[in-house]
Amino acid sequence: MTRTGIRHVLVLCALLLAALVVVSFVRGGQLVSDIPGSVGAGTSASPSGDGRVAASVERVVDGDTIVVVLDGTSQRVRLLNIDTPESVDPDREVECLGPEAADYLEGLLPAGSEVTLAFDVERRDRYDRLLAAVFTPDGTLVNAQVAAAGFADVVVFGANDRF
């Protein structure tokens, strides 16, 4: 294949990847930026609705897991629909950008921060962590912030695709 042919293939791959990213952020005909509380939203709205609960951040575990105080008890929360590099798993090496992802999340959610948790279809994972979207008081979807900052891949596990 010629250099020009390789360039065309690379450009086509880049366009397809960009299209996949856009499609992954489209939900119900709305771009994520049109949904209140999401990255790029013109206005931020306080999350509300059935099943949402208030909690206080106790600590950040890694880039996609936090511990919150909920109803007086500590609960591990896995942020829905993002996956960050590993940084604390004792059975795995620390991955590139793992510590930075954890530091970034800690900057967004320092200990004592008030948050609202919103849930999807499956409420707990196989490690008994709560699976939730995490919103700050101004309505910012923290899960999306971590992904937008480049520290997480956007993923869907099981039926949980709401966030």
In the set 27, 59, 76, 86, the catalytic residue is 86
- Cα separation, 94 vs 98, in Å, equals 6
**114 included as an active-site residue:** no
Phi, psi of 131 (to 5 degrees): -105, 120
**78 included as an active-site residue:** yes
**95 included as an active-site residue:** no
Catalytic residues: 78, 86, 129
